[in-house]
Amino acid sequence: MNDSLIVYESPYSVLETTDRIKEVLKKKSIKLFTLIDHSVEAKDNGLDLNEEKLLIFGDPKVGTYLMQENPEIGLELPLKILIWGENGKTRIAHQNLNALKNRYNIVTHAKILENMSLGLPQLITHSLK
């Protein structure tokens, strides 16, 4: 863990981990905007890349308040989870949302970021059960 990324290890394959996270998002009524499969895109362009998928998701009813306070935080939203295979292990990463509070000078809606920074790890750990 550093100030910008939080990384987890999954006991499941990249595909199963991705599916499990998607299922939790669905159960929590969190909108999945898109899934980018970096490894398929690489293969389609004649390149090799270990399995790697990016989930982009969020709730406009939450993120909008942050963007109203500072439009630049829109570079970080919606939220993202990266899932990839490395040395026979599946890794999951997301940004440390606590770092965004200072980076974008979020004061009025700091509680939203605090709640998001607690909820995102819970979402991931719940999907790994």
What domains lie within the chain, and their CATH numbers? Answer: 5-127 (3.30.310.70)
All residues at 6 or more sequence positions from 70 whose CB lies less than 8 Å from its CB, including other chains:
104, 105, 106
Q: Quick one: pLDDT band at residue 1, thresholds 50, 70, 90?
A: very low
Question: What is the DSSP secondary-structure string of 99-121?
Answer: HHHHHTT--TTHHHHHHHHHHHH
Per-residue pLDDT tens digits for 28-82: 999 999 999 999 999 999 999 999 999 999 999 999 999 999 999 999 999 999 9
